[in-house]
A and B are shown apart, each in its own frame.
Chain A
C-alpha cells in the first residue's frame, strides 16, 4: 500500500527515473514481508505437506509412510462424515448467509429513521468473539433454557430435545449461531457494494419502465459482480476454517455427528497425537478451498475474455 502511495505522489519526471531502476525502498517493501512470510507461512505449509506423508506423534522423529495416510483417509468413516458435514456447512452456512446478508442489505440500504440502529444491531454479533457467542448460545440451548421455554410457550413442547447433544440436531444447532454472526458481516459487504452503484443507472432503468424486480435483476445484481467475488471467497474461507464455534459448543460430538474437517483435524492432531494423519486432513482442506476458489476464478476470467 505504502509503496503505491509513494509512487503516485511523486512527479512524472521522477517516476520515469524510478521505473528504470528499482528503488531500494520498494525492494525492501517486497523482500522483507516475503522473508517473514517464508519463515512463518510458506515453510511450515510445505512442511505440512511433508508431514502428511509421515507417521508422527509430535515427540519422536516422523517416519515416512508414503501415501498410507491418504489411503486410510479414503476408508475412514469419521472423515467421510466430517467431509459431508463440511459440505452441508458450506451450502447452508454459505448459502444462507449470502441470502440473509443480501436481503438485509437491500432492506437497510435506504437511509431512513433508525436504519443506523438496525445496521448496528445486525453487525453487533460480528464484534463478539466466537467463543463468547458460543457461551451465549449454550445458555440458549441448555435444558429448560430459552429455546425450550419458547417452544413450550407456543405449545410445541414435543419438539424439545437436547439440541447440542442430539446427533440429529447438533450440526444445525451449531450452524445457527455461526449464521447469526456471519449474516451481519456479509450484510456490510453488500451494503458497501450497493452504495457504490451509480444511482443514475437506477434512474435510467426507472425511466425505461423497469419495475423493482427487473431493476434488482438487471441493474443491482450485475453491478455487484465485484462484491460477489469478495463475498464468495470470504464465505468459502470462513466455512472451511469454521472451528471455534463448533469446538466450543460440541467439540464435534456427540459421536462425531457435528464433526467438521477442521475439528477432526484438531482432535486428530492434539488429542490423538497423530500429527501425520492430521496433516493429511489439512492438505485435503487446502485442496478443497483451492478447488472452490480456482473454479470461480477460472469462470470469472473466461467471462472477462469473451
Chain B
C-alpha cells in the first residue's frame, strides 16, 4: 500500500485489501496450523534432527556431535537448528505432518507424555535396554502412561538461590536453611539498603513460576503439585492459598524493578550487587561474564515444613522421535549415540552451560558449583521439572497472569485464584 492515489477506484481497491486483511487474520491461523511443511526425511537415508538449541555454544556443540556421529559410519544425520520460539509453536505441526523430521530436542515429563498419548512419538524402549545404569527417576520420567519409553534424556540442570560469594561476605551474611532464616536474611539485606530478592518478570514472566513451584513442593509436596498441574486438584483450593500466604511474607523483599526487566537484566543486577540473591535456573549463567562465574554460589530453596519429602526442580532436556519416522533404526542408532558417555561429555564440554549429563557414567564439568548442584539433586527424594514441563505450555500463560497479578495486588488473592482455576479449566477442556 505504497500508492496513495485518492481516486474512488483506488479506494475500492483498498477496501478489498481491508477485507482481505481481516480475512487474513483468520486465514493466518488456519494456514499456520494446518500447513504441514517440515523438512522431509528421505526413506532410510539421513536422519533429520530438529533442534531448538539455537544459542551459539549449544548450536556448535550439537553440530560437533552430529559430525562425530556421521564420521563413525553407523548412519548419517543432518541437523536443523530452529529459533526456539518458532520451534515451540511449530512442534505440533512437525509431529502431525505427513512426512515429519525424525528426531527432536525437547523436554521430558508431561509435555512429552502428552504427545505420546496422541500416538505421535516413537517407542524407544530398545534404546533404553542399553541404559541400565541410568537412575530410576530418569527412566520413570521418560516412560509414558502405557509403560513404554518415549524419551531419551541428555542432561538436566537445577534451580536455586544464586548469589555472589564476595557480596555475601561483604554483607556478613550466610546461606539460610529454613524459611525463618531466609526471611531474617532478607531483613538484614534490606536494612543494608540492598533489594534482597531479584526477579525478572518483564518479557519473561514465567520466571515467577519457580517461586510457585518451589513454595508448593515445600508446603504441599511434589505429588500434590503434579496433580494440581495435571488438573486433578483445584487452584482455588485452600492448600494453594497457603502457598501464597507464605509468598506474601517474602513479597516486601522483592526488587521493585524486577517487574520491568527480563531475567537477563536481573542477572546483571545480581552480578553488579544491586540485588542480593536470585531464584533462577543455571541457564542464567550463559549471560554472565566468565570472571563472575567463579564468584557465584547458590543455596537450595529454604525448607518450610521438614515433614514434607525433599523435592527439587531439575528440568530434563533430551530427545524424542516421531512415530512416523521412515527410518526408525537410524533414529534409534543416533539416540544410542547421543545417550552415550562420549557424546554427553563432549556436549557438556562444548556447551559451556552449567548442566549435568543424564548418563551417570559421564563426567560433569568439575567446578565446585556443579558438584554442589549434583549433590543437591542426588539428595532430593523427588524431582519436578518446571511449571510448563509438568503441565503444558498451554497452562503456562494462566500462571503468568495469576502470579504477576499476585505480586502486584496480593490483596486480591481469592479473586486471582478463582480466575486461575477458570483459565486452567479452559485449557484442560481444550
Task: List chain A positions with a Cβ less than 8 A from chain B.
Answer: 40-42, 44-45, 47-49, 51-52, 55-60, 72, 77, 141-144, 162-167, 188-189, 192-193, 196, 224-227, 229-230, 233-234, 236-237, 240-241, 251, 253-256, 262, 265, 267, 269-275, 278-279, 282-283, 285-286, 288-290, 293, 297
Contact = CB atoms under 8 A, between A and B. Distances in A.
Most chain A CB atoms below 10 A, which of B10, B33, B34? B33
Contact of B201 (A48, A165, A196, A278): A165
B64 to A, nearest CB: 32
Interface stretch (B142-150, B376-384, B394-402): B394-402
A289 B120 contact: no
Nearest to A283: B26
Interface string B6-20: 111011001101111
A58 B22 contact: no
B261 interface: yes
Given A254-B408, A267-B397, A282-B29, A289 B15 contact: no
Nearest to B204: A251
Given A241-B21, A253-B400, A282-B26, A60 B118 contact: yes
Contacts of B120: 59
B308 interface: no
B430 interface: yes
Contact of B205 (A47, A254, A278): A254
Interface stretch (B42-50, B90-98, B173-181, B237-245): B90-98
Nearest to A259: B401
Nearest to B259: A165
Interface residues of B, number: 58
Q: Is the contact region of chain A dominated by helix, strand, or loop, or is it mixed? A: helix
A142 B26 contact: no
B25 A272 contact: no
B30 interface: yes
Interface string B159-179: 000000000000000000000
Contacts of B394: 271-274
B8 to A, nearest CB: 7
A253 B201 CA distance: 10
B4 A230 contact: yes
B74 interface: no
Contact of A59 (B21, B95, B405): B95
B27 A230 contact: no
A162 B202 contact: yes
B14 A234 contact: yes
Given A42-B23, A162-B259, 9 more contacts: A164-B202, A166-B259, A230-B10, A237-B21, A254-B404, A255-B402, A272-B397, A282-B25, A283-B26
